[in-house]
Amino acid sequence: MNPSHDLDAVALNFSPNDLLLLNLALALIMYGVALDLRVEDFKYLIKNPKAFFLGVFAQFLLLPALTLLLNYVMRPPASVSLGMFLVAACPGGNVSNFLSNLAKGNTALSVSLTGFSTIGSIFLT
């Protein structure tokens, strides 16, 4: 096997019990994040949408463009390159909401971007 393609042989195997535990942990974390959110947080985003649109721009245009540039410079194996593009095209996840909340950041913005990118990825990727 070619050493540069050893990554292709790596497989992640989760048992159904492991997946259930992971899903329950994510649900509990997101419930904790939701407890800190208020309607006023989202009203502020509606009145000041600049950060939201900047986040959408970064998610759907800037990140894929930077991934293309990084692939051009690094020249990884095709499977790694494909993985990089898949990750760049995927919507944000629940962990970003948790980390935004943990860092006392704008959690409402993070949740809004996650929701929009999840729905928008159907049409924009």
Q: Is residue 60 part of a domain?
A: yes
Q: Is residue 5 part of a domain?
A: no
Q: Is residue 2 part of a domain?
A: no
Q: Is residue 8 part of a domain?
A: no
At residue 89, the pLDDT reads 83
- Specify the long-range contacts of residues 22-31, CB closer than 8 Å, at least 24 apart: 26/94, 29/94, 29/98, 30/94, 30/97, 30/98
Q: Is residue 59 part of a domain?
A: yes
**Tokens, residue 26:** 């994510």
At residue 3, the pLDDT reads 57
Domain count, the chain: 1
Enclosing domain of residue 48: 13-124
Contact (Cβ atoms closer than 8 angstroms) between residue 76 and residue 84: yes
Q: Is residue 112 part of a domain?
A: yes
Highest mean pLDDT among 15-19, 69-73, 79-83, 86-90: 69-73
Determine the Cα–Cα distance for residues 70 and 68; give it in Å rounded to an integer: 5
Q: pLDDT > 90: what percent of the chain?
A: 54
Distances (CA, A) of 113 to 80, 110, 117: 26, 5, 6
Please calculate the CA angle 112-38-29 and round it to the nearest 5 degrees. 65
2-55 pLDDT, tens digit each: 555 677 777 888 889 999 999 999 899 889 889 989 999 999 999 999 999 999
Q: Is residue 3 part of a domain?
A: no
The pTM of this model reads 0.79
At residue 2, the pLDDT reads 59
Q: Is residue 55 part of a domain?
A: yes
